[in-house]
């Protein structure tokens, strides 16, 4: 189950990349919120399960903070500065 959640989180992140490049920042926010939450959930499930860290898990661990940062940037780009700055502070 943790692998599935990690993969879904990655799929959201890939979709966000396309939306961001297409300047669809408002839509990207919706997928980023879900993708970031799923990434954290996957990490927690992985940690609790005591599973080994292969390439996919290492990639998630290294990239998760970039996803939160991108969420803050998207909020700023749609004009929601209060939420955007709060997201960057995480």
User: pLDDT band at 86, cuts 50/70/90?
Assistant: low
Nearest C-alpha neighbor of 39 from the set 62, 72, 19: 62
Domain count of the fold of the chain:
1
Note the pLDDT tens digit of each residue in 3-14: 899 999 999 999
- State the helix-helix crossing angle for 25-49 and 2-21, rounded to 10 degrees: 160
In this predicted structure, what is the pLDDT of residue 71?
Answer: 92
Stretch 50-58: mean pLDDT, rounded? 79
Stretch 71-78: mean pLDDT, rounded? 91
- Alpha-carbon span 78 to 27, nearest angstrom: 10
Range of the domain at 81: 2-88
Stretch 9-25: mean pLDDT, rounded? 95
Q: Confirm if 38 and 5 have CB atoms less than 8 A apart.
A: yes
User: pLDDT band at 35, cuts 50/70/90?
Assistant: very high
Q: Is the dihedral of CA 18, 20, 22, 24 positive or negative?
A: positive
């Amino acid at each position: 189950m943790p692998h599935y959640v990690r993969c879904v989180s990655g799929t959201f992140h890939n979709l966000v990349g396309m939306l961001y490049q297409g300047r669809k920042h408002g839509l990207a926010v919706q997928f980023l919120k879900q993708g970031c939450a799923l990434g954290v959930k996957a990490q927690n499930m992985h940690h609790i399960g005591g599973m080994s860290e292969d390439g996919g898990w290492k990639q998630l661990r290294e990239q998760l903070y970039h996803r939160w940062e991108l969420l803050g940037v998207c909020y700023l780009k749609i004009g929601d500065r209060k939420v955007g700055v709060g997201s960057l502070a995480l």
